[in-house]
Structure 1
Amino acid sequence: ISLCLCLCFASHIEKHNSSVGVENILSTWSFKSVGLGTKITRLKITDYHVHCTVTSRYALTTVESTIWNQFHLTKEAAFEVDLPASAFISNFTITSGGKVYVAQVKERAAARKFYDAAKKHGKITEKFRVVVSMPPAIHMSFSISYEELLTRRLGRYELALGLRPGQPVQNLSVDITIAEQSGISFMKVLPLRTSRLLSTEAEVPPSTQVQQNPYCAHIHYSPTLEQQRNLSPKGLNADFVIQYDVELKDLMGDIQVLDGYFVHYFAPRALPVVSKDVIFVIDISGSMIGNKIKQTKAAMSTILDELREGDYFNLITFSDKVHTWKKGRTVQATKQNIQEAKEFVRKISAEGWTNINAALLSAAQLVNPSSSSSASHSLSPRRVPMIIFLTDGEATIGVTAQDAILHNAQSALGSVSLFGLAFGDDADFPLLKRLALENRGIARMVFEDADAALQLKGFYDEVASPLLSDIQLSYLEDQAYDVTRVLFPNYFQGSELVVTGKIKSGVQEMQVSLTANDSKQKLKVESKARLAKSKGNETATFLDCKGSLGGIYSFVQRLWAYFTIKELLLAKINSTDSLAQQLLAEKATNLSLKYNFVTPVTSLVVVKPDTDKYPTSISSIPTSPVTTTTESVMSTVTQTFMDGDPHFFVKLPNLQQNLCFTVDGRANDVLRLLEDPEKGIIVEGHLILAPTKRGVEEHTRTFFDKITIKIAKGGISVTLMIDSVVVKGEGLHSLPTTQQGSVTYLDLKIVLDGHQSCWIDFGKGMLFLVVFHRYSHPSYYQMEHLGFYIADGEGLSSLTQGLLGMLHFLIFLVCFTVCWLGAEQAAG
């Protein structure tokens, strides 16, 4: 999923009785610049610097880039940064001509659809991109900061910083400081990562310098131009990756307190591994044919070899039918059983439909004692029951309704942990994510790359060694409050559980209790942690990193907010009560605004004063050079249209790019698209409700099913619908849209091409186009609708208003609204 910035305008629009009110319009629209794909003449990046500070796993990263327009014409400068999917942006600035424009975080009620649509595909990184118009000989600097908690997987934390300036840069550097109060047990810098494939190189990137003591590490990387070109003539296009782990000897973990907040890192080591009852459920429907099934079989062969003798397992394959390898039971992972299972896997082939519901219920009968008495004899109370479920598509046969599948799974699985793997972009990741969240597990995307088998194996490695189950960390109510999640279904070897909260004033010693199941018994441990009265500077001194931790002295408080926001948004996804969803969203929004986090419920906004000399435009893809001034952008619109959900597009002269915005109306709303009182023309669009898309049910989808054009001269009205065009004037003419035809009134000419278009030609620089969108084999969410285009608007007067017409006279207010690149197609 990628991030882009959107260009927003405000304009004077009058409210008409037959139109959506201006208040509603202004609260729900957003503009997106859409480039025409022409090549940009590359501007020179003079500086590119990445600064990252990690304090007790909490990372603050700032990326700074300075661009120089060395040409004699105005050009477009692009600033693009890869962001971790779990990160929150906390600052963005643009510096130009000695002035600094600082972003503000605002409530973002109308932009939720972009986030949902992009998240549906489960992207592991996001892309922040802004394109700005730069006059000649100008230097412009961009700076973005984002925050994230590093996750411990397989015994290490990984920090990956994207380095993709797009060209070799004279002054390029990466500076990282890692400070860990409990001590750093190991740290290594990996070779530059250019893909998800594991690198076989052993060397750290050239010019890397590392300084380290028991509690702190400094890493500096500053490649020369020659070193950058050796990697690629186009400059760096890779991730700078560091892996490390911390010392943690206490069973109860590490508790850190700062400024009235605490964080508890729980990651006990040296515990015996608990055996597991694991069911591998594999989708073998027709869509798995080819590389997917080959990679799945390769991964399963390796995974089966790594089962421990104390583990019990079974295999289920499913398409429209479900086939269980060993009927009614799990079997011990003996050498003979593993060999037989590998032979079973070798012979599977892909065909048929996808019956997710039946496969889940079959797995539940094998692994959940309460759902099948015949399976209970093979289960041990000290084995962790789990299902690893892999699919590459949506449910297409049997029970296909998401709510029914979720209900059936939760009823049947009981205390079983379900881990979902969505293989490829066509998989129903939202369903798998909810299945996992509601059944003690997690869901991941597996990307259709050459290393898909490694991705599958890597995920299994994370859950292959359970150490504890049914974990509860408890804190005394008179000591701690506003505590985040404290119940965890499993703790796996090499992972970490994190709890944050607030500490009451005056607490000197914090009591923590743990209850959990290990390999043999139920554990109950109580511990008291002495709380140090430290402030930010004292903590930095203790870590021997003084002078390197600026900006996140309050990291525990920000970490608490980071966790709390994520848990509120997760609870909102899992809730079915609309009032509860609203309250959870409001709490998440308030916290996001307080801590200046850009989240799914907030927007990043930069307001640029009208007095500024340089116009700003934003693009999601490369665009052609900008040669206009602010005045020329404001004066003329040559092509404007609306289409889709509905999407409105405006082609600006000389800018060689389009702007678009959306209006989320309601069924039967009538939108005033254009009104020119001098020409006596009014254009209105009628909205109809469309089915919501799976995974983004919160997004109301509307389309235009009727366009009405009223012309005062001659008292003419033209009503366009998907099946017919009705013209009323001196008489009544009805033309079917599937046939060619034309009607002429005075200077007005209406021409149908008999397929998908109708031209309305007024002459004198006014030409409209209506497109009829039909589908031969529509999906469940597709419906026939109309698109309206102002193909030529030169003849419209300066008094023109309406949603499209108003763009002739803009009050120039440039603001940046964060949206998710890639969501445009999903939303439309």
Structure 2
Amino acid sequence: MHINQAVAGRQSGRRRHPHSGIGRAALIALAERLAMVVLILATFLIFVVGAYAAPRITVDEVKSGSLLMRTDDPGSYVEAVRTATDVELKVSGPTIRATLTQMFHNPSKNWVEGIYVFPLPDGAAVDTMKMVIGQRVVIADIKEKQQAKLVYERAKAEGKKAALVEQQRPNMFMNSIANIGPGDTVVIQIEYQEPVRQADNTFSLRVPLVVAPRFSPGAVAENSAETVTFQDKSGWGAVKSVPAASQVPQPPVLDPRKNAPINPVQIRIDLDAGFPLGAVKSAFHAVNITDKGSQARHIELASGPVPADRDFELTWQAQPSQTPAVGLFRERVGNENYLVAYVTPPNLKSQSTDQRPRDVTFVIDNSGSMGGTSIEQARASLAYALGRLTPSDRFNVIRFDDTFTNLFGETLPATAENIARAQDYVSRLQANGGTMMVAPMLEALKDTHSDEQGFLRQVVFITDGGIDNEQELFDAIASHRGRSRVFMVGIGSAPNSYLMTRAAELGGGAFMQIGSVDQVQERMKHLVDKLESPAMTNVDVSFSAGPADVTPRILPDLYHGETLVLAAKMGGLKTRALSSTVEVHGLIDGKGWSVTLAVADAAEGAGISKLWARRKIDDTEVAQTLRQISREDADKRILSLALEHHLVTRLTSLVAVDKTPVRPRGVHLSRSDVPLNLPAGWDFDKVFGVKGETISDREQRQALLDLDGRKVQTIDASRAISLPQTATDAELRLIAGLVLLGGGLGFGFLTRRRRVAA
């Protein structure tokens, strides 16, 4: 029994979960299990956090990053709240149910509000949060974001313990815990549903463990000019400003040279693949693997808790020649039937007849966040891709930080001489500067041969994705893609997978992640296979029982080794739904290909409705980016889906409030942001030293990039290109609303004065 089901029945004054139903025996079992969890985490916190905690430092050293945090009172500091995290994953065929238990301990003598920014997979459907206080368990309610914030702030002001989980980005969440007393400990448990990933005959899951620092374009040049966009040649235009970095929380990051790693994490995985297992591997962490039968394994970290400074990745494969080509699973919730299907077409590469040469532009990120091992991985990845070009191909290289350089100006034939020049150029790249990603993407999407159909036009973008203006990049791809296909390569120990996934989706390409130099050759080979192979195009799906609500709404083309994953809500068709079939069809080499699946053969699955709803929300965001719907319509759809399926989104949050006030009246409450580790392999000075770069430093950096003494033109990315306006005029409406509100207040004030005078 899941702990959330048991606890839900215990909250007599709250709305019960539709699937909860619990008796006295189950309550006793829950109490025993809950006590054991808290005991384990308490021991975990005492022994492990003590080992990871940095030594006490003086107030004068706070600026360099420490466990002392500023309070609202000038000159006053409080020791940071410490965390310990336990991650439990249950893999059942195509779905992952994750339970993230976070223990927050206040080591100071002050009453504090703990703020913790943490990552989750970009496809995670967060649906449950519980706050454990001693022997009491408080189940969170889903509410509209602003309403949840008001409930939390009211409880905080009243001295009650409260917890609030908010989505800051689809893969970045913030946990706020109010009124943690001196020496007190609060346990927060979050649950989410996620689909298993499948590609190249390999199944995988990824647990992001650290939020990497994000670069804000507004921080490059404080006096840079705004860009102006004119519409419809009417003479009227609009100024487009870069969103302020302060709009998204920027948690403190500890300098690893001065602080030991903090925020230890324990990970346990129960893997039930549903087919005979072959190799099971952890890419970046040593693990112990215990056999639980031919189809199941139990996985734990070999060395116990690890610092939260790099993503955890687990992959598994079927036994040789037994990799399933299809998978079909269903779930019934209320009167609705939900379905998820996995379909892997036959080997596309061996059937390829499209031998058109490629016109490919490689874009490489050499900004400060790429310092350390990341730039090595990026250089090695690009060098491998350049080495796979053929004489019939054309190519170019663009590198960027807060400037960008277009190496050849346009794509040139992939001669031995041009490839050698590019290889030499790439080998000298060093990481420095800010991350201005939009301008180089637009530069790469410029198609100087738009009338020429003899080439496959591709953009390969190599980056860690460390920016906070993702939406501007998405807008750029959506409005300027043309016939190009965008392939994203995620680099480093904590890449922004949300940016990679969405950019590749909008760009009609694919994405992959490289977390170490050891993975470069294997994973770049898979990417090059995709680049060299034609896609399975015109992918579509149909149901014999009638229309179904399918997601993704725009079915992608499939490249070599890729698997189509689709989810559908079939409605309350009952018996008819179970007797229906699902047909997936498309074109391979211009010839029709299809596969038909019987719904009656689908295995029972859990959480499929959550996956469908999460993906429908993503579909809505994509439709808004493509300007197919307005912001208002998108918000309505997202809010409706989130409230119906109890999901955290940019418009909804989970909030839990204890009924009993604990902080004495008049006692001050300080805010304590939980510091984060710098992602493994990153260079602290490269990330946080952008503002200290002088003109001579930049000139020296540029001199390293000149080819054989020939100047290569470098452009300031902050002034390079303006973007089209988004789909709505929300800013103008907000201003108009404020004007009307002010007018109304003024009118009311005058009317009241007249009545008093009368």
The TM-score, its normalising length taken from structure 1, stands at: 0.51
Q: CA deviation at 1:52?
A: 1.3
Q: Does 1:387 align with 2:459?
A: yes
Q: Does 1:55 align with 2:92?
A: yes
Q: CA deviation at 1:246?
A: 4.5
Q: How does 1:311-322 map to 2 (within 5 A)?
A: 312-317=393-398
SS at match of 2:79: coil
1:655 pairs, out of 654, 660, 669, with: 669
- Partners of 1:403 and 1:74 in 2: how far apart? 42
Structure with greater Cα Rg: 1
* Matched residue, 2:358: 277
Letter in 1 for 2:666: S
* Matched residue, 1:686: none
Decide whether aligned partners of structure 1 residues 140 and 512 sit closer, same or farther in structure 2, where only a CA change above 3 A counts: same
SS at match of 1:606: strand
Q: How does 1:117-136 map to 2 (within 5 A)?
A: 119=169, 126-135=172-181
Q: How does 1:321-400 map to 2 (within 5 A)?
A: 325=408, 331=413, 338-339=419-420, 341-343=422-424, 365=447, 371-373=450-452, 376=453, 379=455, 384-389=456-461
SS at match of 1:632: coil
* Matched residue, 1:186: 279
Q: CA deviation at 1:265?
A: 0.8
* Matched residue, 1:585: 635
Q: Does 1:516 align with 2:598?
A: no
Whether the 8 Å CA contact 2:328–2:602 is kept in 1: the answer is no
- Partners of 2:422 and 2:290 in 1: how far apart? 47
Q: How does 1:86-125 map to 2 (within 5 A)?
A: 86-108=123-145, 119=169
- Partners of 1:135 and 1:116 in 2: how far apart? 23
Whether the 8 Å CA contact 1:49–1:63 is kept in 2: the answer is yes
- Partners of 1:403 and 1:295 in 2: how far apart? 25
Tell me whether 473-482 or 335-344 shows the greater mean CA deviation: 335-344
Decide whether aligned partners of structure 1 residues 111 and 389 sit closer, same or farther in structure 2, where only a CA change above 3 A counts: farther
- Partners of 1:392 and 1:50 in 2: how far apart? 24
Whether the 8 Å CA contact 2:113–2:178 is kept in 1: the answer is yes
State the Cα RMSD in Å.
5.7
Decide whether aligned partners of structure 1 residues 70 and 38 sit closer, same or farther in structure 2, where only a CA change above 3 A counts: closer
Deviations 1:208-250 (A, max 9, x none): 3522433322224586xxx65xx7xxx7766554221357868
Letter in 2 for 1:603: S
- For these two proteins, the number of residue pairs brought into alignment is 527
SS at match of 2:89: strand
Q: How does 1:534-553 map to 2 (within 5 A)?
A: 536=604, 553=605
Whether the 8 Å CA contact 2:551–2:568 is kept in 1: the answer is yes
2:101 pairs, out of 56, 64, 67, with: 64
Q: CA deviation at 1:103?
A: 1.0
* Matched residue, 2:650: 600
The TM-score, its normalising length taken from structure 2, stands at: 0.55
- Partners of 1:67 and 1:358 in 2: how far apart? 42
* Matched residue, 1:409: 480
Unaligned runs of 5+ residues in structure 1 are: 1-32, 193-203, 395-400, 537-552, 616-628, 634-653, 660-690, 709-828
Q: How does 1:347-746 map to 2 (within 5 A)?
A: 365=447, 371-373=450-452, 376=453, 379=455, 384-389=456-461, 409-410=480-481, 413-414=482-483, 416-419=484-487, 437-441=505-509, 463-466=527-530, 467=533, 468-476=535-543, 478-479=545-546, 481-485=548-552, 487-503=554-570, 504-505=573-574, 506=576, 507-517=578-588, 521-532=589-600, 536=604, 553-575=605-627, 577-578=629-630, 581-609=631-659, 612-615=660-663, 629=664, 631-632=665-666, 654-657=668-671
Question: When you count helix as a share of all residues, which structure comes out higher?
Answer: 2
Q: CA deviation at 1:372?
A: 3.1
Whether the 8 Å CA contact 2:623–2:629 is kept in 1: the answer is no
Whether the 8 Å CA contact 1:409–1:435 is kept in 2: the answer is no
Question: When you count strand as a share of all residues, which structure comes out higher?
Answer: 1
* Matched residue, 1:261: 338
SS at match of 1:214: coil
Letter in 2 for 1:469: M
SS at match of 2:661: coil
Decide whether aligned partners of structure 1 residues 460 and 589 sit closer, same or farther in structure 2, where only a CA change above 3 A counts: farther
Decide whether aligned partners of structure 1 residues 436 and 102 sit closer, same or farther in structure 2, where only a CA change above 3 A counts: same
Letter in 1 for 2:360: I
Decide whether aligned partners of structure 1 residues 310 and 354 sit closer, same or farther in structure 2, where only a CA change above 3 A counts: same
Whether the 8 Å CA contact 1:258–1:556 is kept in 2: the answer is yes
Deviations 1:67-110 (A, max 9, x none): 67899986777777542333232111112243221111112369
Whether the 8 Å CA contact 1:53–1:60 is kept in 2: the answer is yes
Whether the 8 Å CA contact 2:81–2:107 is kept in 1: the answer is no
Deviations 1:703-739 (A, max 9, x none): x99xx9xxxxxxxxxxxxxxxxxxxxxxxxxxxxxxx
- Partners of 1:73 and 1:439 in 2: how far apart? 50
Q: CA deviation at 1:482?
A: 0.5
Letter in 2 for 1:388: V
SS at match of 2:622: helix
- Partners of 2:85 and 2:276 in 1: how far apart? 31
* Matched residue, 2:717: none
Q: CA deviation at 1:522?
A: 1.6
Whether the 8 Å CA contact 2:101–2:188 is kept in 1: the answer is yes
SS at match of 2:100: strand
- Partners of 2:512 and 2:422 in 1: how far apart? 25
- Partners of 2:513 and 2:393 in 1: how far apart? 26
* Matched residue, 2:63: none
Deviations 1:613-634 (A, max 9, x none): 324xxxxxxxxxxxxx1x225x
2:269 pairs, out of 176, 182, 195, with: 176
Percent identity between matched residues is: 16
Decide whether aligned partners of structure 1 residues 330 and 498 sit closer, same or farther in structure 2, where only a CA change above 3 A counts: farther
SS at match of 1:490: coil
- Partners of 2:585 and 2:263 in 1: how far apart? 53
Letter in 1 for 2:341: H
Whether the 8 Å CA contact 1:484–1:501 is kept in 2: the answer is yes
* Matched residue, 1:803: none
Q: Does 1:145 align with 2:199?
A: no
- Partners of 1:279 and 1:63 in 2: how far apart? 42
Which has the higher relative contact order, 1 or 2, with Cα contacts under 8 A spaced 6 or more apart?
A: 2
Q: CA deviation at 1:498?
A: 0.7
SS at match of 2:640: helix
Deviations 1:643-664 (A, max 9, x none): xxxxxxxxxxx334599xxxxx
Letter in 1 for 2:458: M
Whether the 8 Å CA contact 1:182–1:254 is kept in 2: the answer is no
Letter in 1 for 2:295: Y
Whether the 8 Å CA contact 1:474–1:486 is kept in 2: the answer is no
Q: Does 1:304 align with 2:386?
A: yes
Decide whether aligned partners of structure 1 residues 523 and 111 sit closer, same or farther in structure 2, where only a CA change above 3 A counts: farther
Q: CA deviation at 1:501?
A: 0.8
- Partners of 1:239 and 1:403 in 2: how far apart? 24
Q: CA deviation at 1:444?
A: 9.0
- Partners of 1:60 and 1:388 in 2: how far apart? 33
Whether the 8 Å CA contact 1:48–1:65 is kept in 2: the answer is yes
- Partners of 1:355 and 1:137 in 2: how far apart? 44
Whether the 8 Å CA contact 2:209–2:310 is kept in 1: the answer is yes
Letter in 2 for 1:490: D
* Matched residue, 2:707: none
Whether the 8 Å CA contact 2:132–2:138 is kept in 1: the answer is yes
* Matched residue, 2:19: none
Q: CA deviation at 1:499?
A: 0.8
Whether the 8 Å CA contact 1:173–1:221 is kept in 2: the answer is yes
Letter in 2 for 1:464: V
- Partners of 2:518 and 2:731 in 1: how far apart? 36
Whether the 8 Å CA contact 1:52–1:177 is kept in 2: the answer is yes
